[in-house]
Amino acid sequence: MKLMLKFFAVSSLFASPISYVAACGKKAPQELVGLTTIKNQIKEKLSRTKFESVEDLVNDLNNEGSLVENQIIGLVIGEEKNPEPKNYYDLLYLRAEVTKNTNDHVTIFYKVVDFDYNDGVKMIWGEEKSISFEVDLFGETKQPYIVKPEDQEIDATKSISLDIQVNNKTEGKAIVAKSNDSSIAQVSSNGNQITIKGIKEGQTTITLDYEYAKQVEFKVKVNALVPIIEPIVGFDMYENETKQVEVNITNPIGSELKASSEVTTVVGVEVSGQRLTFKANGIGESKITLVYAGAKNVTFTVKVKEKVVDPVIISPGNQEVKVGNKITKTITIQNPTSAQLQADEVNGNGAVKVSVSGNDITIEGLSAGTSTVNLSYTGANTVSFMVTILPKDPVINPINDITIEKGTTREVSVVIQNEVSGSTLNATSSDPNIVEIAGVSGNKVILNAKEVGEVTITLSYPNASDVTFKVTVSEQPPVVVPPVINKPNDIAIKVGQPDEIMNVSIDNKVDGVQLNAKSDNDAIATVNVNGDNLTIHAVNKGMAKITLTYNGAESKTFNVNVLPKDPIIDQVEDISLVEGEEKEITINIQNPIDGQKIVSSTSMSLVATVNASDNVVTIKAVKVGVAKITIGYSDATDMSFNVTVIEKETEVIPPSLTKPDKVSVEVGQSVSVEIKINNPIEGQSIFATPKDNTIANVSARDNKIDVTGVKEGTTTIKVDYENAESIEFEVEVLPEKIEDPVITAPKNISLQTDEEQTVKIEVKNPIDGEKISINNKNSDIAETTLINDFEFTVKGISVGSTTLVVSYKNAQSVEIKIVITEEPIIKPIIKPVEDIAITEGESTFVKLEIENKNDKFNVEIDNSNSEIAEVKPTGETLDVKALKVGTTEVTISYGIADTVKFKITVDEDNHEPKIVMLDTYYMVKGDETKGVIDIRNPKTDAKLEAESNSTNVEVKETSENTITLKAIEETEEPAVITINYVKGDEIYDSVEINLIVEKELFKGEVNVIDGEKWSVKVTEGENYEIKFKIAKPLFGREVKVKVFTWNDSENIDDLASVEVRNGVLVLKTRVTGKTGINVVLRWYYDEDLDENIIEDIGIEIKSKTEEQS
């Protein structure tokens, strides 16, 4: 710091307009200026040149001439020694590098001026400095880049996983990794994670790619495998015992395994490959060491114990056992130990089963033959003995006594268990004269019944006990026709259905004989017999054969095909979804059928759609409402559940205010300023504060501010609103304007002859000293006399009418119509009209009701602002057309009647499409009708979609503005037709109409809202209006009205015409001079056909002369 102060003392030696101030430890301002200049040059370079990476930018910055010197601010480009500093504020740019561990930062190396005080005061370059900052190569859309990982080191056959960092990722893209030498290391990638596997010793490079990012490389070193000798647990041996042990080596390298014993007099060891042979030489213990090149030595201990006298097994000798029998032998062990005796069959192929319990062995014969049994005992030599397994003795199964008829033969089958090859069956009769043994063939004995009587038959077989049975010979019975079972047809039944009951028909039935039935597979179907009826019960899917038997009849069979249970669709509970949400539901099918899939449908696809895939349905919520989802499956009852779609919560966006343009107002006047509030909060109003309330005052309500001029000048108004930033707008108060006078006078005055009336004229903004003047256009009808500045009298002179023109200086003149009659005129009364609201661009009408009408008067309209709404009187209505947003006041005048005022408010049209339809329409069964739909503010490429909730009405076709419906059947309840106006997935407007289908065409009815049916008299030349509504409007059919005479003989064009607009019919009559004539107004659909007539209404048109008389 002292050196710096010394510098200030001599700073006068360097004349410079730039002051230099530095604080210890901080960059001097001029240093910051130089660095900022470098940054700005880099920023400008980036705006002109595209660099693929920060490395490319750094290479460019280090090229000569890339950065431009600026002597004014002291930026010097060059090497450390060339040039030398010229000014104390110089900054020397040295080079640029990519900031370590980044792909988006640059480090600038530089020097600033220092001073050498050893040789006077000499400027030199100070120590090297650096600063790092981020560079944006790609503007708002940043290019991805891969952060380079550190070099890796792994062992051969091992794997490691690395998470690769990618900045400015691209959605859906992943890292691609490649090994330059896959024989050393292999690499695979999954998303932004890579896995490296070492193959063999060596080093290779891994290259990382990512779309639009620069490749990154890093090195992988693979170390060679290290052999490992698996540990061996020490063990015991007996003196003079030999033992072999196998050694396992992981990652062997082909070296020789070596082993050494610490005490060879106790244990000797030899090596053969990886097998160790140990010889117990003497009592004691020795440490064994295993050595293998490159592996860690393994050491374990072997203990040698004194050898005891070996046990000896005494052989039981060879044994015999019959098949199926068991024998038990006790084995003698000499010099026994705590060891367990073991016995095993070694070559009998399972002819015997041997078990051991203590020193007892049990041998069970399983099959005839021979087998060898080994006896073993720890420490004893194994002993073997032979076992002969003898076959079982033959057994003749018992034979039931039988009865045969005289003169017949009978073959008797004999069953012999454990037959012996070469042995034969023998049979003898106790009396061959009654029953003779006709022969023995194998195991069958043939008996010949010679005489009536009873004998004993004896059966004999070697080594088997004899078996006897009795044979009774009876006389032959008379010939009997055998019974016959009529074969039933094959049947099919389902699991879970009621049992199948079927009757079996038997011809030549025998008393006392019962029908029998048996299923060949009770696991498929069972059968029960009740008399001649079978009850078949389905158990499981499959095929079963039922065999029917009846004593004396041939058995019959038939098939039962058991089908699986009908599938059942498990019920799904009703669900609720948010608009746009999707949900997958797994449908569980009980008893599914192979190859069958579920099907799905929705009752209202405009609310929710459904798609089925295998046994999963995907439901997408489209629009708020309720839709029924129906799931079907082959042979199963349909299952349905409801999906309720609720409105999606919208993001809450804070309010904001839109600044209005400059406002001008005159002193003493007020102007209303509307502040546009974006995303307003319900119930909140704006607050307004003038900067100078001596110039203007304000009052605020809702989103409007009333500004009142106080004195000439300009000020600002501050506007606040909850959660929104304040705004200000300018108000200019102009000098007070003196407005011209305005005359207000009655439009009509009615008097009788000699009647006099005083009339007072109102003048707004009067001029001092000025008065009104009256110009009477016909003084023969009425005379006027001025009473004072603003009043005059008018007196009726003769019957007729005249016009008074009232004038005032600088004011526009007004006219007063004076009507003089002999009889008094009843004063008309205009009934009040309610205020109306209408949307910008729409049209409507206002019904006028006037009592005590007089043909001398006409309806006149005064519209305070015709730019907001256009108002035209038409007969007894006012046609109103909304032009722009705002409010206007309409004054209705009619002769001497009191005026009536009402307001028209025009609201802003949001220009959103809107479907305009009635609530209910009708159709006739069997009709197919195309209806043109009125769409306000239609959109390009938008179209109508429609869906019916009833099978009685079908939507056949839709287009951009038409819908075709077909009435299938009469409706008990109205069918609901949902109509949407859509473009892609966007629904602009949606309406629901009721549609009623009736059996046959109906006449219909015209409901008159304003006006009358029949008994109506209209004077020729006048217009008569009827406001109506069709009671049962037909869908897609246009309502028309015609007028014609009773006998159709008159040319109706000479009499009247009709016009229908907005539900109002206007009958326009013409002056013909004819006497009164009756006409009929006919409402009909489309064509003037009798079956299309809705209703007729009669009107009498009176002539002018008839009216006057």
**CA within 13 Å, CB half, 541:** 7
Alpha carbon 969 to its chain centroid, in Å, reads: 37
Helix (H, G, I), strand (E, B) or coil at 732: strand
pLDDT value of position 1064: 62
Two structure tokens written together for 322: 């019959």
Domain 914-998: assigned CATH number: 2.60.40.1080
Tokens at residue 820, please? 């003089």
Q: Write the pLDDT tens digit of every residue in 935-946.
A: 888 888 899 999
**What pLDDT is attached to residue 800?**
87
Q: How far apart are CA 273 and CA 276, in angstroms?
A: 8
pLDDT attached to residue 1065: 66
- Give the pLDDT confidence of 451-494 residue by residue, as tens digits: 999 999 999 999 889 999 999 999 887 767 889 999 999 999 98
Model confidence band, residue 556 (pLDDT cutoffs 50, 70, 90): very high
- The tokens describing 93, both together, are 């740019």
What is the tens place of the pLDDT at every residue in 955-984? 999 999 999 999 999 998 999 999 999 988
Question: What does the pLDDT read at residue 21?
Answer: 34
Nearest to 113 by CA among 6, 2, 7: 7
Q: Are strands 589-590 and 625-632 parallel, antiparallel or unpaired?
A: unpaired
- Whole-angstrom Cα distance, residue 1103 to residue 23? 111
Number of neighbours of residue 595 by Cβ within 10 angstroms? 6
Q: Per CATH, the architecture of 829-907 is what? A: Sandwich (2.60)
Asked if residue 226 lies in contact with residue 294, where contact means CB atoms within 8 angstroms, the answer is yes
pLDDT digits (tens, 9 = 90+) for 120-137: 677 888 888 888 878 777
- Residues 635 and 118: their CA atoms lie apart, in Å, by 109
> Tokens in use for 542?
């499959």
Sign of CA dihedral 436, 438, 442, 443: negative
Q: Which residue has the higher pLDDT, 664 or 1088?
A: 664
Strand ranges for 480-615 from DSSP E: 484-485, 491-494, 500-503, 506-507, 516-519, 525-530, 533-538, 542-549, 556-563, 568-569, 575-578, 582-586, 589-590, 599-602, 608-613
Report domain extents, the chain: 2-134, 145-223, 228-305, 312-390, 395-474, 484-563, 572-644, 656-734, 742-821, 829-907, 914-998, 1006-1108
The number of CA neighbours under 13 Å toward the Cβ of 505 is 5
- pLDDT, one tens digit per residue, over 24-57 is 344 555 576 778 888 888 887 777 777 777 888 8
Q: 312-390 adopts what CATH topology?
A: Immunoglobulin-like (2.60.40)
Question: CB-based contacts of 8: which residues, under 8 Å, 6+ apart?
Answer: none
Please tell me the CATH superfamily of domain 1006-1108, with its number.
Immunoglobulins (2.60.40.10)
Residue count of the chain? 1109
Sheet containing 185-190: order of strands: 159-163, 193-198, 185-190
- Could you tell me if 440 and 449 are in contact, meaning their C-beta atoms sit under 8 angstroms apart? no
**Mean of the per-residue pLDDT values for the chain?**
84
Give the pLDDT score at 10: 34
3-state secondary structure of 43: helix
What pLDDT does residue 162 have? 92
**Whether the predicted model's global pTM rises above the 0.75 cut:** no
Fold of 656-734: Immunoglobulin-like (2.60.40)
What pLDDT is recorded for position 1052?
61
Q: Name residues whose C-beta falls within 8 Å of residue 153's C-beta, 6 or more positions apart in sequence.
A: 220, 221, 223
Contacts of 60 (CB under 8 A, 6+ apart): 45, 49, 51, 66
Q: What is the pLDDT of residue 583?
A: 92
Question: Can you tell me the distance from the alpha carbon of 301 to that of 876, in angstroms, rounded to the nearest whole number?
Answer: 127
Secondary-structure class of domain 572-644 per CATH: mainly beta
Q: Is the dihedral of CA 189, 194, 195, 200 positive or negative?
A: positive
Q: Residue 803: helix, strand or coil by DSSP?
A: strand
**Distance, CA of 212 to CA of 52 (rounded, Å):** 9
- Give the separation between CA 1045 and CA 1078, rounded to whole angstroms: 6
Count Cβ atoms below 10 Å from residue 1014 Cβ, excluding itself: 9
pLDDT band at 20 (very low <50, low <70, confident <90, very high): very low
For 401, 415, 440, the CA distances from 412, given in Å and listed in that order, are 11, 10, 10
Strands 670-674 and 704-709: antiparallel
DSSP string, 262-319: S-TTTEEEEEETTEEEEEE-SSEEEEEEEE-TTS--EEEEEEEEPPPPPPEEEP---E
User: Residue 483: is the preceding peptide bond cis (ω within 30°)?
Assistant: no
Residue 1087 has pLDDT above 80, yes or no: no
Common-topology check for domains 228-305 and 656-734: yes
For the segment(s) 742-821, the CATH number from 2.60.40.1080, 2.40.110.10, 3.40.50.300, 2.40.30.70 is: 2.60.40.1080
CA distances from 430 to 329, 403, 457, 810, 900 (A): 48, 16, 6, 166, 144
| Per-residue model confidence (pLDDT) at position 17 | 30
**CA proximity to 798, closest of 778, 826, 777:** 778
The more confident residue out of 1006 and 695 is 695
User: pLDDT band at residue 6, thresholds of 50, 70 and 90?
Assistant: very low
| 44 backbone dihedrals φ, ψ, rounded to 5° | -65, -40
Using the predicted structure, report yes or no on whether residue 369 has a pLDDT greater than 90: no
Are 925 and 934 spatial neighbours (Cβ–Cβ below 8 Å)?
Answer: no
- Provide the 3-class DSSP secondary structure of residue 344: strand
Place of tokens 């087998």: 371
**Which class in CATH covers the domain with range 484-563?**
mainly beta
Q: What is the amino acid identity at position 470?
A: K
Q: What is the model's pLDDT at position 1053?
A: 59
pLDDT of residue 1106: 44
| Confidence label for 204 from pLDDT (cuts 50, 70 and 90) | very high
Distance (Å, whole) CA 846 – CA 381: 128
For residues 974 and 920, the answer to whether their CB atoms sit within 8 Å is yes
**Rounded distance, CA 462 to CA 421, Å?**
11
- On whether the 395-474 domain is CATH 1.50.10.20, my answer is no
Looking at the chain, the whole-number percentage of residues with pLDDT higher than 70 is 86
Cα radius of gyration rounded to whole Å, the chain: 60
As assigned by CATH, the class of the 228-305 domain is mainly beta
